[in-house]
Amino acid sequence: MDSKRPYTTLFLIQSLDGKITTGDNDSMDTENFHKITGIKEGMFQYYELEKRMDRVYVNSGKVFEKVGFNEKVWTKDKNDGLSFVVIDNRPHLNLGGCEYLAKRCETFF
């Protein structure tokens, strides 16, 4: 491979729980998409479409821990109308993360 050529291959894999990932490790994870020119400008479209398409999401506690849900606080008066099923075998979510999801979600499992 030419050393002057940038590494630009982006692999998107949708896992069983619906999370879009770039591979089997965290070196190029979706949490970095908001920093990448060309991707960050369109991410809002993905999330707006996702909200209209799905009502119930399945995700792991590890993902929610990674994106900072354990430290977030829901300050809005209403939930966002989504429901989450969280599978967490460690647990990765602490009490703060569970409280955030319980307030944010219509239903939290």
- How many separate domains does the chain show? 2
pLDDT at 2 (0 to 100):
60
Whether residues 16 and 39 share a domain: the answer is yes
Whether residues 23 and 62 share a domain: the answer is no
Whether residues 28 and 62 share a domain: the answer is no
Residue 86, both tokens: 């969280």
pLDDT tens string 11-67: 444 555 455 555 555 666 667 777 888 888 888 887 777 667 767 888 889 888 988
Question: In which domain, by residue range, is 81 found?
Answer: 55-109
Whether residues 63 and 33 share a domain: the answer is no
Residue 33 CB contacts under 8 Å (≥ 6 apart), including other chains: 39, 40, 43
Q: Are 30 and 36 in contact (CB under 8 A)?
A: no
- Structural domain includes residue 3: no
pLDDT tens string 59-105: 889 888 988 899 999 999 998 888 889 999 888 999 999 999 999 99
Whether residues 65 and 108 share a domain: the answer is yes
pLDDT at 54 (0 to 100):
67
Residue 44 CB: number of other CB atoms within 10 A? 10
pLDDT at 13 (0 to 100):
46
pLDDT at 89 (0 to 100):
87
Whether residues 20 and 62 share a domain: the answer is no
Q: What percent of the chain has pLDDT over 90?
A: 24
